[in-house]
Amino acid sequence: MTYDPEVKYQKSHEWARKDGTLFTVGISDYAQDSLGDVVFVELPVTGKVVKKGDAFGVVESVKAASDVYAPLSGTIVEVNSKLKDDPSLVNKEPFGAGWFVKIQASNPSEYEELLSATEYEAFVKGL
Amino acid sequence: MIPYIPHTDEDRRVMLSALGLERVEDLFQAIPEKHRKPVIDLPPPLSEAEVVRELKRIASRNTTAEETAFFLGAGAYRHFIPAALEAIVSRGEFLTSYTPYQPEASQGTLQAMFEYQSLLADLLGMDTVNASHYDGAAALAEGVLLAYRARGGERKTVVLSSALHPEYIETVKTYIEPFGLRIRGIEEGAWRPEELEGLVDETVCCVVVPFPTFTGTLLVYRSLCMATHEKGALFVVSVDPISLALFEPPGSFGADIVTGEGQCLGSHLSFGGPGLGIFATRGELLRKMPGRLAGVTCDRRDKNGFVLTLNTREQHIRREKATSNICSNQGHVALRAAVYLSLLGKTGLRKVAELTYRKACYAAERLGSLSGFRVTSPSPFFREFVLQCPISAEEVVRRLVEHRIVPGLPLSKYYPDRNQELLVCVTELNTREEIDRLAEALRGIQAKRENR
Amino acid sequence: MTTRKHRIRTVEPFIWELSAPGRVGASVPEPDVPEYPLPEEIPLRRDLPLPEVSELEVVRHFTRLSRLNYSIDTHMYPLGSCTMKYNPKVNDLAASLPGFSEAHPLLPEDLCQGSLELLYRLQTAIETLTGFHSVSLQPAAGAQGELTGVLMIRAFHQDRGDTKRTRILIPDSAHGTNPASVSMAGFTAEQIPSDKRGNVDLAVLRERCDDTVAGLMITNPNTLGLFEEHIEEVTSIVHRAGGLVYGDGANFNALLGYLKPADVGIDVMHFNLHKTFSTPHGGGGPGAGPVGAGALLAPYLPGPVVRRLEQRSQEQPNFREQVEKQKESLHRTGHSVDRTGLPEVYSEYFTLVYPEKSIGRVKAFYGNFGILVRAFTYILQMGGDGLRSVAEHAVLNANYLKHLIEKTYRIPYERPCMHEFVATGEVAPGIHTMDIAKRLLDYGFHPPTVYFPLIVKEALMIEPTETESRQTLEAFAEALLQIAQEAVTSPDLLHEAPHDTPVGRLDEVRAAREPILNRRQTEKL
């Protein structure tokens, strides 16, 4: 199980990577492992405005379907269209090619409220 | 002794003693004592022979389509059912198996489902057909809910053609009530495509039309479908599958959701059930669609096989977020439809549809030319038409039943003000002789009136 | 049509692969009426891509397919909660009597008194067995019955202007249909945990019940196969908060003749005739999901339902007129009155009516009549005592089977079960329940329900039903015990199972990633 130290997490297992006020969002290695083989990812349309904690998409394996929640408020400016053809990217590279969306944050300070990799790892181990 | 419980006294003794119990009732201790083992006031058990005798007595109180000249349709249709179909579908391996949750033990059911999905998709011209829904009415109701969800749940008006089957309209009303959707079209009495088009605006999530209408009329929906799409709404068609052997299927002109009643594909009237809810969508609605789907995959040795797939849409995984609560569907009726379409095939189904069309035309011509009677259905029509009678249609039925003719459905059943209109249904099973006999009997009614 | 060229290789070819232009599988009569040209104004279809196969090839194709199935007629099928009991053949015979199979649903009532009598007597029989005030036979399946019941609860609260009740509570052991039905009825579903004995956690229930609770949905016996020990307390907590209690009748077969659900405070409940009353499952349906309701909710039942009009004495020669009068007064809600002639005088007359405040229809016509005939046939044959015996033997079989395997397969809740029980498949390291399930196929048994209920890890949910003999139960237990040994000695036998089925373990991930759902999509490959 990997916990990318470059990103921050929330307890519903999404991560966010900061690049100025633009944030790339995906699900954690722990999340993809619990789901099993991902077969489908439902993503929002670009331009959609989300609040922190809103469900913006769905990730599905053959046995489960989970909502994906926005770790920050803002506007969805890009979605990972590669997931449509190859949802297994979520399993293979959860912190890389398996990213879900990019959010232009309206309140970038929300990033500070997220968990660090060590905090998140401790949280997961307590589950 | 009950033939379905194999336990001997010895079995019971062995089993109870293994459990350390004396009486089987001891296993029911968790049930509150004051309510435990109440008196059940049902008649005593009967032997199989007695049961059959009693059921034959009850059944004999019905007048059946087989012993009369039968012209009643209105949503339940009598078409020929080949003997080979009965032989196939009564096999216990099909009839007494469960939902194919263990695919390795259910390849027969799964492949038959897949073939049903394929044959129907081809007949309807649609991308995806599910493994079945309850009946034409419930399928349509869930079709409307699908359209509502697909449009983000923000558009709260449904345009319904008033020419849909009245019981389907009632069913749609029941299903949409919790979502606060409004219906447009019924009060307005709108059913012509141009009338319906005038009702579509940006609040509408879908437009729902029948093909043919409840009273048999065939309509062209292509431009209504386009206009519906222009307003950002979905187009839903409730079809009669047999008519589609002749006419352009709704998939060809852009329908988004197609539902229908498939009883006419090889199932008996059976007093209105089980029917077969046909449910089809265009590609992109697939993941919001209710109901089971069989799909192709392969095993470890690369041998192809079938599984139930896209299960995350369904209640057992998605629970309160499922696309529907449906689980048991009409699997065995769908099997009947698959076998029916396989037996009839390309030429057979077309012949059935042609004969049905022709005979209805012949009947309309014969009956419409009778003094005092008039065919009021707009042409063209398929299988059914409305006959305006000189007296109440219920009275016509009552008199003709005495001649062993069931001439149709008095429309007053659903439309209280349409007292003298009779909905006459003709299929390939109605002979010319029967149609002529119906005409003679109707002539007799009018002759009696004129003699008075 | 496609030919055999494409890449999909199935055990049995597709029906369209057997097609050859010009073949027919059924004969259609020659026209005996003049030709009428097809209408010009309606676009005709250009192509009808259906197969062309001879009758024999169709028969062989589907017969071969049927032989790839497990079924009750061929195998023990202990699927928990699904009640795969024997389906008596006389049921099918009854449903195929022409008087029933050729009866049209819109016949004038005088001409279908047989169908109406049967529906009426089935309604009454279910009322008798359950203690409910009235029953509607309309819902087509258990899930539709659930939706119906929850819609009735909704209508009841709305009628009283009580619109703040938006929540429905559901124990965590419930079937997935419960929360799905709740959503379809416009409520929010809220989970209630189970306690250590597998009962509803009463403390949590009390805490969650307030004036925003519309009701509780409860399955009893629950999906652990356990009877809710505090059922009366559960229902009264909900009632005191002003909510209503929905009973999920999926497991009513365990209670036949032992408990009338209405007696313990259930307000509305559905029954799966295809489980409790032995009608065949047909590879996924049709079922039938009648709904029973106590006096409070009976007026809201979906319509129409059947009522009986009686001729009270021989001195009433004008029974026909009386029937008319009574029918007029019964048809209060605008359902048209049928006025066609009564062919002969009966001492009783059956008529269709809408309950006073009916939620309306949930489907066309009156329910899955063919299934209702089968269930009625079963009830007639069993009688009250026979049905009680069904519950007794179903419960005895489940407990005996549990006893035979419980030293090897852990049973998470230690108390007598009802008609089914839940065991766990953790018999050896690295072995999952699915491995055991698939290995059972090699022993000629259909696997139990797996991974359900969700609250038990690696669950195996086993329901033998009353129709299996002691010898069959012992053979099944023996297979389970042997598999547990294999799990230790040769785990790969389990991991790679099944070995003796027409196909091996199938790749569900691939099926879901690239859905191929019909013929046209096979051509994309």
What pLDDT, in 10s, does the model give residues A67-93? 999 999 999 999 999 999 999 999 999
In a domain, B41, yes or no: no
C46 touches chain A (CB under 8 A): no
Residue B93 sits in the same domain as residue B155: yes
Range of the domain at A15: 9-102
Residue B213 sits in the same domain as residue B286: yes
Residue B75 sits in the same domain as residue B95: no
Instruction: Please name the residues between 435 and 474 in chain C that touch chain A, using a CB distance below 8 Å.
Output: 451
In a domain, A61, yes or no: yes
In a domain, A114, yes or no: no
Last residue of a domain, one of B313, B340, B367: B340
The CATH number for B241's domain is 3.40.640.10
Q: Find chain B residues with C-beta within 8 A of C51's C-beta.
A: 119, 341-342, 345-346
Residue B335 sits in the same domain as residue B432: no
In a domain, B328, yes or no: yes
The CATH number for B397's domain is 3.90.1150.10
Residue B210 sits in the same domain as residue B259: yes
Last residue of a domain, one of B284, B312, B340: B340
A125 touches chain B (CB under 8 A): no
A42 touches chain C (CB under 8 A): no
Residue B350 sits in the same domain as residue B439: yes
In a domain, B358, yes or no: yes
Say how many domains are in chain A.
1
Of C422, C103, C371, the closest CA to residue B328 belongs to C371
In a domain, A4, yes or no: no
What is the rounded distance in angstroms from the CA atom of residue C69 to the CA atom of residue B93? 6
A122 touches chain B (CB under 8 A): no
Q: Find chain C residues with C-beta within 8 A of B347's C-beta.
A: 24, 52
Residue B279 sits in the same domain as residue B413: no
CB contact under 8 A, C467 and B4: yes
Output the tens digit of pLDDT for each of chain C's 525 residues: 444 445 788 999 999 999 999 999 999 999 999 999 999 999 999 899 999 999 999 999 999 999 999 999 999 999 999 999 999 999 999 999 999 999 999 999 999 999 999 999 999 999 999 999 999 999 999 999 999 999 999 999 999 999 999 999 999 988 889 999 999 999 999 999 999 999 999 999 999 999 999 999 999 999 999 999 999 999 999 999 999 999 999 999 999 999 999 999 999 999 999 999 999 999 999 999 999 999 999 999 999 999 998 765 555 556 666 666 666 655 443 333 344 434 344 578 899 999 999 999 999 999 999 999 999 999 999 999 999 999 999 999 999 999 999 999 999 998 999 999 999 999 999 999 999 999 999 999 999 999 988 889 999 999 999 999 999 999 999 999 999 999 999 999 999 999 999 999 999 999 999 999 999 999 876
Residue in chain B closest to C186 (alpha carbons) equals: B178
In a domain, A95, yes or no: yes
Residue B279 sits in the same domain as residue B398: no
A58 touches chain C (CB under 8 A): no
Is the backbone of residue C367 left (phi > 0), alpha (psi -120 to 50) or beta? left
Q: Find chain C residues with C-beta within 8 A of A88's C-beta.
A: 513
Residue B364 sits in the same domain as residue B379: yes
Q: What is the pTM of this model?
A: 0.95
Q: What is the predicted ipTM? A: 0.97
Q: H or E segment at C520?
A: helix C519-522
What pLDDT, in 10s, does the model give residues B154-177? 999 999 999 999 999 999 999 999
Residue B370 sits in the same domain as residue B223: no
In a domain, A125, yes or no: no
Instruction: Please name the residues between 77 and 116 in chain A that touch chain B, using a CB distance below 8 Å.
Output: none
Which of C454, C513, C514, C516 to mutate to probe the A interface, most A CBs <10 Å?
C513
In a domain, B28, yes or no: no
Instruction: Please name the residues between 172 and 201 in chain B that touch chain C, using a CB distance below 8 Å.
Output: 173-175, 177-179
In a domain, B53, yes or no: no
Say how many domains are in chain B.
2
Residue in chain A closest to B322 (alpha carbons) equals: A65
In a domain, B43, yes or no: no
In a domain, A92, yes or no: yes
In a domain, B136, yes or no: yes
- Where does C128-264 show beta strands of DSSP type E? 134-136, 167-171, 188-192, 213-219, 244-249
In a domain, B227, yes or no: yes
User: What is the mean pLDDT, run by run of 10 residues, along chain B of 452 residues?
Assistant: 94 98 96 96 93 96 91 98 98 97 96 98 97 98 97 95 98 97 97 98 98 98 98 98 98 97 98 97 93 95 94 86 92 98 97 98 98 95 98 96 95 96 98 97 92 78
In a domain, A38, yes or no: yes
Range of the domain at B405: 65-79+346-451
Cα of C128 to nearest chain B Cα, Å: 6
Last residue of a domain, one of B282, B311, B340: B340
B247 touches chain C (CB under 8 A): yes
Chains touching B (at least 3 CB pairs under 8 A) are A, C
In a domain, A69, yes or no: yes
User: For chain C, which domains are there?
Assistant: 94-305+359-371 (3.40.640.10), 384-510 (3.90.1150.10)
Residue B175 sits in the same domain as residue B113: yes
HEC letters along chain B:
CCCCCCCCHHHHHHHHHHHCCCCHHHHHCCCCHHHCCCCCCCCCCCCHHHHHHHHHHHHHCECCHHHCEECCCCCCCCCCCCHHHHHHHCCHHHHCCCCCCCHHHEHHHHHHHHHHHHHHHHHHCCCEECCCECCHHHHHHHHHHHHHHHCCCCCCEEEECCCCCHHHHHHHHHHHHHHCCEEECCCCCCCCHHHHHCCCCCCEEEEEEEECCCCCECCCCHHHHHHHHHCCCEEEEEECHHHHHCECCHHHHCCCEEEEECCCCCCCCHHHCCCCEEEEECHHHHHHCCCCCEEEEEECCCCEEEEECCHHHCHHHHHHHCCCCCCCCCHHHHHHHHHHHHHHHHHHHHHHHHHHHHHHHHHHHHHHCCCCCEECCCCCECCEEEEECCCCHHHHHHHHHCCCEECCEEHHHCCCCCCCEEEEECCCCCCHHHHHHHHHHHHHHHHHHHHC
Chains touching A (at least 3 CB pairs under 8 A) are B, C
The CATH number for A64's domain is 2.40.50.100
Residue B446 sits in the same domain as residue B396: yes
Which of A35, A38, A56, A60 to mutate to probe the B interface, most B CBs <10 Å?
A60
